[in-house]
Every structure is written in structure tokens, then in C-alpha cells.
Amino acid sequence: MHLSASVTLWLKPKNTRYAQDHNRQNGYSVHMDQQSRTSDEIGHIPVLADPIMELFDAKPGMIYLDCTAGRGGHASLVAQKLGKTGRVIALDADPANADFTRQRLSSYPCQSDVLHRNFAQVTTALDELGVDKVDMLLADLGFASNQMDDPTRGMTFQADGPLDMRLNPDIPTTAADLVNRMAERELADVLFQLGEERLSRRIARKIVQVREKEPIKNTLALAELVSSCYPPNQRGKRARIHPATRTFMALRIAVNEELMALERLLDTLPQIIKPGGVAAIISFHSLEDRRVKQRFLQFDQNDCAKRLTRKPIVADDAQIRQNPRSRSAKLRAVQFGSDMPA
Ligand SMILES: C[S@@+](CC[C@H](N)C(=O)[O-])C[C@H]1O[C@@H](n2cnc3c(N)ncnc32)[C@H](O)[C@@H]1O
């Protein structure tokens, strides 16, 4: 298995803080696409775009699979490099983001297929398109800024909205369903295991007390309830994070079965990446990153793939200032070898 000169750069001993100035470096245009939309209209700034482009080293004729199309930011950057002969396949669980990316990619000369699909079903999606394996795969996990910023999606506690949190509006269970129907103990386990919320039992008890009088349907009602479980000195302006952050994260992960989807994708990688192809995953919390890290290590130990990032690549201060969401982003990548299973 050969590592290209550019990717060996990433075999660095420490967390690599990556300087990113999209508009000037490497000629990639992130903030303005070919139809001159601003980042405000697009609603999401792609994180760690420069290291991803270097890891992929995209060339005409290659096939790129974007498992999390979002607003098409990373997909557009790769599409620019693929010429007429390349192909972009993009999936998103959210039909609105899939539509947005489809429209955005239509201005590039490469073939593009954007499907409203959960990446847990990536093999079926590739089968449908008659594609066996791809050269590059990206999963930029979680939600896009446009989803978080829209109070009607119920992911934010900064504004009131229905307690929904579904990325895919076709799935039956919302966050309100979980909050109002789960047994107290089960709820506490979700908050502890998926949100690492240390006050999980206290919060679950309070939820059950409140919902006995009236169902909890809105984001602000839940956020206030969770805040009231914290001691006063941990819920004021001096608190490092809002007390409801972990509860909201846990519920979003549970509603969308995010960890199960990630596990399925990780299981599938060796079957869908070409020899020499690169898979990159950006995670935003430790539950995801731990899974990616362990699986990439196993691939490496089994001589199935080589880790291109021994420590995760993270954003530098300039990017964090420009895009605060990049603060928790961790990028890991592997390059598959020729001795992997067919
Ligand atoms: C961080 S955003 C991706 C942003 C994208 N890289 C860009 O530059 O515009 C994550 C996207 O992945 C989607 N998503 C999350 N989990 C998914 C899953 N299991 N299957 C498919 N899409 C998923 C979300 O709906 C969201 O649009």
C-alpha cells in the first residue's frame, strides 16, 4: 500500500491544529460557490476543509461519496476537482439538505447523484447507483448549522420550538415522544450514556414529575426544567456550557440513532473503499470519536487500512473564531490497502 506524499504529512505525533483560510489557501472557494451564494444563504461553513482536500487529493475521474451532504460544502470543493469524468454521490437523512446539495452540485461538470438516505444504508444506495467502490468517502457527523439554527427543528434551546430533533422528518419518533413516554430509569440512562450528563437521574425524575401534570412539548420548557436541576452557580452566565446542552445532545443522538448509524458505516468501510482510497470522518463528541478511533486502529492492526491521522486533526484558533462549531471537530482518516476483503 502506498501513501502519497501529501497524506504522509498527516502522520503527526500530536493533535494537529489546522490553519484554515478558505478563500486564500489552495484556491478552494468555500464561502462563495459557483452561483455566488454567500455562506449566510448556504447556512453552513464546512469544517476542516483544507486538510480534507489534502487527504483526498481528488483528481478527475475519481468517485467521491459524501455520507453527510449537508449544505454541499465539502461536496462542492471535491466536485471542483473531479472534472467531467468524476462522480459525486451524496447522501443526507434530511430531504431538505439533500435537495439543497443536489441543486448546488448541478453547477459542476461531474456526474452527481444526491439521495435522501441514511448512511446506515450506504451499501444499498451504492447498489442502486450501480457503484461498487469509491475513491474517497467523507462523513461529517451530526447536524448542519441551518438545522440547528431553525427553531422549528427543535435542536436548539436558544429559541422556542417543538421538541422534534429529527434529522429525517419521515422517522416516527420525536424527542417529545421520548421525553413524555420513556420510563424514568430508561430516560436517565439515555441522558447519562448519550449525553454524559452527571445529573441524569435528577433530571429524569424532574421530567417525570412535570410531565405527569402536562406533556413537555417545547424546547424552552425542557431547557428551563433541566436548568432548574442544576445548582444556581452552574446555570448563570458564568456556566461554561448551558445546563441543557448534554440533555439536548443525548436526545438528538437517541432520536436519530446516530451511534448505530455510525457503527454500521464503520462496518461497511472495507467493502466500499477502493484499494488506495481514503475514508475521512469528522466527529463532534467523544462518543463518536472513540468509535472512529478504535475502528481505525483495528483496520490498521489488521493490515486492512493505514491510519493517516494518528492523532485527530483539529481546527486552529482562526477557524474557531470564524466558525465556532469547528471547536469540537476531530478529523480522522484511513487509507485502505490492496489486501483488504473484496
Ligand atoms: C455537519 S452536516 C454536513 C455538512 C457538509 N459537510 C457541508 O459541508 O455542507 C451533517 C449532515 O449530515 C446529515 N446526517 C446526519 N446523520 C446522518 C445519517 N446517519 N445519514 C445521512 N445523513 C446524516 C445531517 O442531516 C446534516 O445535513
State in Å: Cα 94 to ligand 1 middle: 8
Mutate to test the pocket of ligand 1, among 91, 167, 268 (most ligand atoms within 8 A of CB): 167
Q: Is residue 166 situated within a structural domain?
A: no
> For residue 1, is pLDDT > 60?
no
Q: Whose CA is nearest to atom 24 of ligand 1?
A: 143
pLDDT band at 233; cut points 50, 70, 90? confident
Specify whether 106 is located in the same domain as 27.
Answer: yes
State in Å: Cα 337 to ligand 1 middle: 27
Q: What is the pLDDT of residues 61-109, one digit of tens each?
A: 999 999 999 999 999 999 999 999 999 999 999 999 999 999 999 999 9
Residue 253 Cβ inside 6 Å of ligand 1? The answer reads: no
pTM, entire model: 0.89
Specify whether 14 is located in the same domain as 95.
Answer: yes
Q: Is residue 341 situated within a structural domain?
A: no
Domain around 320: 5-146+259-336
State in Å: Cα 198 to ligand 1 middle: 28
What are the distances in angstroms from CA 240 to CA 44, 145, 236, 244, 322?
Answer: 24, 21, 9, 12, 20
Specify whether 52 is located in the same domain as 124.
Answer: yes
Q: Is residue 151 situated within a structural domain?
A: no
State in Å: Cα 114 to ligand 1 middle: 12
Mutate to test the pocket of ligand 1, among 68, 101, 249, 325 (most ligand atoms within 8 A of CB): 68
Ligand 1 atom closest to Cα of residue 49: 8
Q: Is residue 287 situated within a structural domain?
A: yes
Question: How many helices, marked H, and strands, marked E, lie in the chain?
Answer: 15, 9
pLDDT computed for residue 41 by the predictor: 72
Residue 94 Cβ inside 6 Å of ligand 1? The answer reads: yes
Q: How many CA atoms lie within 13 A of 275 on its CB side?
A: 9
State in Å: Cα 229 to ligand 1 middle: 32
pLDDT computed for residue 35 by the predictor: 53
Grid cell locating 303: 493490515
Q: Is residue 134 situated within a structural domain?
A: yes
pLDDT computed for residue 42 by the predictor: 77
Residue 266 belongs to domain with CATH number: 3.40.50.150
Residue 33 Cβ inside 6 Å of ligand 1? The answer reads: no
Pairing of strands 111-116, 134-140: unpaired
State in Å: Cα 262 to ligand 1 middle: 12
Apex CA 169: angle with CA 164 and CA 172, to 5°? 75
Residue 87 Cβ inside 6 Å of ligand 1? The answer reads: no
Ligand 1 atom closest to Cα of residue 66: 6
Residue 74 Cβ inside 6 Å of ligand 1? The answer reads: yes
> Stretch 244-261: mean pLDDT, rounded?
98
pLDDT computed for residue 103 by the predictor: 97
- The residue out of 228, 255, 282 marking a domain boundary is 255
Q: Is residue 12 situated within a structural domain?
A: yes
Specify whether 142 is located in the same domain as 275.
Answer: yes
Specify whether 274 is located in the same domain as 247.
Answer: no
Specify whether 132 is located in the same domain as 232.
Answer: no
State in Å: Cα 206 to ligand 1 middle: 32
Q: How many CA atoms lie within 13 A of 324 on its CB side?
A: 1
Specify whether 218 is located in the same domain as 297.
Answer: no
Please state, rounded to an integer, the average pLDDT across all residues of the chain.
Answer: 89
pLDDT band at 17; cut points 50, 70, 90? low
Q: For residues 199 and 219, give the distance between their C-alpha atoms in angstroms, rounded to a whole number.
A: 19
pLDDT computed for residue 5 by the predictor: 32
Grid cell locating 149: 439554527
Number of structural domains found in the chain:
2
Q: Is residue 153 situated within a structural domain?
A: no
Specify whether 118 is located in the same domain as 11.
Answer: yes
State in Å: Cα 235 to ligand 1 middle: 31
Residues in the chain: 342
Residue 233 belongs to domain with CATH number: 1.10.150.170
Specify whether 122 is located in the same domain as 270.
Answer: yes
Residue 261 Cβ inside 6 Å of ligand 1? The answer reads: yes
Q: What is the pLDDT of residues 167-188, one digit of tens each?
A: 999 999 999 999 999 999 999 9
Q: Is residue 155 situated within a structural domain?
A: no
Q: What is the pLDDT of residues 30-49, one digit of tens each?
A: 434 555 566 667 778 899 99
- The residue out of 202, 225, 255 marking a domain boundary is 255
Specify whether 90 is located in the same domain as 233.
Answer: no
Specify whether 20 is located in the same domain as 126.
Answer: yes
Specify whether 23 is located in the same domain as 139.
Answer: yes
Q: Which residues contact 291 (CB under 8 A, 6 or more apart)?
A: 259, 262, 263, 266
State in Å: Cα 141 to ligand 1 middle: 6
Q: What is the pLDDT of residues 123-137, one digit of tens each?
A: 999 999 999 999 999
> For residue 198, is pLDDT > 70?
yes
- The residue out of 233, 255, 277 marking a domain boundary is 255
> Stretch 283-288: mean pLDDT, rounded?
96
